[in-house]
């Protein structure tokens, strides 16, 4: 997908063409912006989900934006998807009759969850993911955490100890405390590490952390990243979707900038939808 930094802000929006692209005036090429079929708003594609239409008229959530053929774009949140379904915006975008799967917003949530877990797996293989209480505490003390990942069914005691250290170091370094991701259970996190279960993970600052921020922002539109059942939820630093988190000091925190979305990666299956990658 295109680099979000290529998007020109505050530019008048001319009519759009096929696939929701917004054409630039007098430049002879397509802009990187897309139009949300639910609201008509033009926005950064990193904030959206691409939809593809199979030859049989099935609507497919193309989370990698790689499938061939005519497509459309919808804002990456449950409300926008449900609005598009209710107003038959998919059929208008496809310019033909289409079939939207039952529970389509839940299906997108599942795809995005798998995408985030796949990126965590990539971070692990790249040496950018720490696991276990002691290792996570160590990297927290060094101020190297971009995201804390805590099992949704983990104990509050261990989680709070790491949180206190992370916040203290962040305050000392005049940074915002690393947000916590708590929407996956210990079994799901364990699969990343090739173990039965895992409770504490930490994503180090770096390239994959930047990619993860985009996918977490999209996932946050479909599920809570911090469980409501956590009694200490109010004390946890909350993830802010699509926002650039900056240092309090003058030095820019490059690990918290909005990143490019990787065009390829594991974790999403498009089998059985009549579409293949080109």
Q: What is the mean pLDDT of the chain?
A: 82
Task: Measure the CA–CA gap between 113 and 104, rounded to whole angstroms.
Answer: 14
The 3 state secondary structure assigned to the chain is CCCHHHCCCCCCCCCECHHHEEECCCCCCEEEEEEECCCCCEECHHHEEEEEECCCCEEEEECCCCCCCCEEEEECCHHHHHHHHHCCHHHHHHCCCCECCCCHHHHHHHHHHHHHHHHHHHHHHCCCEEECHHHHHHHHHCCCEEEEEECCCCCHHHHHHHHHHHHHHHHHCCCCCCCEECCCCHHHHHHHHCCCCCCEEEEECCHHHHHHHHHHHHHCCCCCCCCCCCCCHHHCCCCCCCCCCCCCCCCCCHHHCCCCCCCCCCCCCCCCCCCCCC
| pTM of the predicted model over 0.85 | no
- The Cα-based distances of 70 to 39, 59, 73 in angstroms read 19, 11, 11
Q: Categorize the per-residue pLDDT at 52 as very low, low, confident or very high, splitting at 50, 70 and 90.
A: very high
Beta bridge partners of 129: 203
pLDDT at 70: 81
Task: Measure the CA–CA gap between 124 and 93, rounded to whole angstroms.
Answer: 39
Task: Measure the CA–CA gap between 133 and 200, rounded to whole angstroms.
Answer: 6
Contact 17, 57 (CB under 8 A): no
> 73-124, pLDDT tens digit by residue?
999 999 999 999 999 999 999 999 999 999 999 999 999 999 999 999 999 9
Task: Measure the CA–CA gap between 91 and 88, rounded to whole angstroms.
Answer: 6
**Domains delineated in the chain:** 4-101 (3.30.1230.10), 108-256 (3.30.1330.30)
Rounded to 5 degrees, what are φ and ψ at 22? Answer: -110, 120
**Is it the case that residue 267 has pLDDT exceeding 80?**
no
Task: Measure the CA–CA gap between 273 and 107, rounded to whole angstroms.
Answer: 13
pLDDT at 31: 52
Of residues 5 and 50, more confidence is placed in 50
> 9-34, pLDDT tens digit by residue?
222 233 334 455 444 444 444 558 89
> 138-191, pLDDT tens digit by residue?
999 999 999 999 999 999 999 999 999 999 999 999 988 999 999 999 999 999
pLDDT at 205: 93
pLDDT at 81: 98
Contact 178, 144 (CB under 8 A): no
Task: Measure the CA–CA gap between 183 and 31, rounded to whole angstroms.
Answer: 35
């Amino acid at each position: 997908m295109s680099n979000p930094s290529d998007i020109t802000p505050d530019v008048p929006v001319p009519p759009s063409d096929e696939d929701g692209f917004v054409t630039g005036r007098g430049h002879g090429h397509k802009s990187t912006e897309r139009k949300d079929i639910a609201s008509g708003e033009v926005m950064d594609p990193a904030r959206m989900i691409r939809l593809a239409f199979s030859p049989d008229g099935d609507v497919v959530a193309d989370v990698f934006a790689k499938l061939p053929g005519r497509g459309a774009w919808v804002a990456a949140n449950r409300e926008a998807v449900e609005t598009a379904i209710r107003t038959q915006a998919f059929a208008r975008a496809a310019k033909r009759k289409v079939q939207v799967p039952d529970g389509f917003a839940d299906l997108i949530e599942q795809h995005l969850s798998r995408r985030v877990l796949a990126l965590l797996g990539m971070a692990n293989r790249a040496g950018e993911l720490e696991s276990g209480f002691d290792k996570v505490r160590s990297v927290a003390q060094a101020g190297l955490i971009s995201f804390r990942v805590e099992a949704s069914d983990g104990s509050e005691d261990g989680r709070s100890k790491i949180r206190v250290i992370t916040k203290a170091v962040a305050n000392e370094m005049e940074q915002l405390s690393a947000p916590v991701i708590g929407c996956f259970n210990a079994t799901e996190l364990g699969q990343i590490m090739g173990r039965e279960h895992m409770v504490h993970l930490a994503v180090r600052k770096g390239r994959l952390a930047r990619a993860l921020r985009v996918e977490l922002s999209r996932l946050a539109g479909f599920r809570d990243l911090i469980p409501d059942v956590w009694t200490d939820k109010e004390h946890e630093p909350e993830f802010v979707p699509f926002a650039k988190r900056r240092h309090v000091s003058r030095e820019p925190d490059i690990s918290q900038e909005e990143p490019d979305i990787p065009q390829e990666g594991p974790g999403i299956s498009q089998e059985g939808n009549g579409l293949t990658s080109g």
